[in-house]
Amino acid sequence: MNQNTLITLNQFISDQQNKFPFVKGTLSKIFGDLQLAAKMINRDVRKAGLIDILGNFGETNVQGEEQKKLDVISNDVFMRLMDLSGACVCVVSEEDEHIHWCPGAEDGKYILAIDPLDGSSNIDVNASIGSIFSIYKRLSPDKPVDHEDILQKGVNQVAAGYIIYGTATMFVYTTGSGVNGFTLDDSIQEFCLSHADIKTPSMGSIFSVNEGNLKEFPEGVIKYIDYCKGENKDEKRPYSARYIGSLIADFHRNLLKGGIYMYPGTTKAPNGKLRLLYECNPMAFLVEQAGGKAHSGSQRIMEIQPETFHQRVPVFIGSGDMVDHVIGMMNENK
């Protein structure tokens, strides 16, 4: 890329649309709305530190308006924009028990799945958080949408991405032809291409896991973590342990530097914590497009047939060789 060229996300999407005529205008329109949602949520996230001054969830502010929690605000932003757009027939969200039907959009061709604010426990301590999205095409435009349209395998995603509200705000996405990252230039309020065609290293030296749960992990995972901490100069071990507790932040760092993120099943929660539709599938699509892997311990994440909207699944995601290694150890220790 020519260092002097400034490419905005809008420009990039319109170029892609010209290159791949099958990427119809509707998908570009959804991206326009997602971008707007990102800017609106970014604005609210940047004010989060003032919450004690401006009011907290359930409290009433000086204008007499009820204050909402940031994850509820973020969810509302996505829903409102999708309602206005008409491009998506419905939205499923980590924040809502039921499907959100977009009014008047019965003919909408797409379905959106979102985790409107990931890592929300980190808001109060000013660490990175994010929003995750995943887009599917409805299976048949001729019949009313049913659960089958929403419970599609991750391999059917037409697009996925996240917005990270970190030191800078970034929009990272894929439509199945590589992964590109755009950084928000606050002064012009535009996302500008900063990370073209992201590829993740096949091997890294970072492992990210909540080790507090170690005793409850499967035997193979315990052994792999022990291996990560073992000493071997040639293999750059011990690896570095890095865990923020915000999937987006941990994933983003490992994607760029190389590493593995694990949220295994435990004896108390055999399916782990992360949600297949809102967290694992979009991240799996991105990581595979960047040359990495995502596995549940028993199968490739994107090949899992979802059974319920809010289904959880164990996940091992990141640099391909590291994912293969832990899965191999799990198989040996079954």
Question: Among residues 245 and 328, whose Cβ is nearest to Mn ion?
Answer: 245
CA distance 180 to 163: 12
Footprint (CB under 6 A) of ligand AHG, residues 77-116:
94, 115
| Count of residues in contact with Mn ion, rule CB under 5 A | 4
Cβ distance 245 to 208 under 8 Å? no
From the list Mn ion, ligand AHG, none, pick the one residue 178 interacts with, judged by a Cβ distance below 5 to 8 Å according to partner type: none
Establish if 310 lies at the interface with ligand AHG (CB under 6 A): no
Single-letter amino acid code for the residue at 252: H
- In terms of Cα–Cα distance, which of 204, 178, 194 is closest to 325? 204
CA distance 294 to 305: 15
Q: H or E element: which one contains 306?
A: none
Establish if 119 lies at the interface with ligand AHG (CB under 6 A): yes
- Structure token pair of residue 33: 């709305």
| Contact track, ligand AHG, 49-78, x by CB under 6 A | ------------------------------
CA distance 236 to 98: 47
Residue with tokens 């985790």: 115
Shortest distance in whole angstroms from residue 281 CB to ligand AHG: 14
Establish if 118 lies at the interface with Mn ion (CB under 5 A): yes
* 63-85: b (≥16 Cβ within 10 Å) or e: eeeeebbbbebbbebbbebbbeb
Q: Single out the segment in contact with Mn ion by CB under 5 A; choices: 12-20, 115-123, 190-198, 226-234.
A: 115-123
| Contact track, Mn ion, 93-112, x by CB under 5 A | -x------------------
> What SS3 state is found at 157?
coil
Question: Among residues 72 and 214, whose Cβ is nearest to Mn ion?
Answer: 72
- In terms of Cα–Cα distance, which of 159, 205, 155 is closest to 179? 159
Question: Among residues 193 and 317, whose Cβ is nearest to ligand AHG?
Answer: 317
Bridge partners, residue 161, by sequence = 133, 173
Establish if 289 lies at the interface with ligand AHG (CB under 6 A): no
Number of H helices and number of E strands within the chain?
Answer: 9, 13
- Tell me how crowded residue 195 is: count the other CB atoms within 10 A of its CB: 14
Establish if 250 lies at the interface with Mn ion (CB under 5 A): no
Cβ distance 10 to 87 under 8 Å? no
Q: Single out the segment in contact with Mn ion by CB under 5 A; choices: 30-38, 89-97, 187-195, 212-220.
A: 89-97
Give phi and psi for 264, each to the nearest 5.
-75, 170
Shortest distance in whole angstroms from residue 247 CB to ligand AHG: 4
From the list ligand AHG, Mn ion, none, pick the one residue 33 interacts with, judged by a Cβ distance below 5 to 8 Å according to partner type: none
Residue-by-residue DSSP string for 208-252: E--GGGGGGS-HHHHHHHHHHHS-BTTTTBSPEE---S-HHHHHH
Residue from the set 74, 157, 246, 281 that interacts with ligand AHG by CB under 6 A: 246
Establish if 115 lies at the interface with Mn ion (CB under 5 A): yes
Question: Among residues 118 and 149, whose Cβ is nearest to ligand AHG?
Answer: 118
Establish if 311 lies at the interface with ligand AHG (CB under 6 A): no
| Residues at the interface with ligand AHG (CB under 6 A) | 94, 115, 118-121, 210, 245-247, 273
Which positions touch Mn ion (CB under 5 A)?
Answer: 94, 115, 117-118
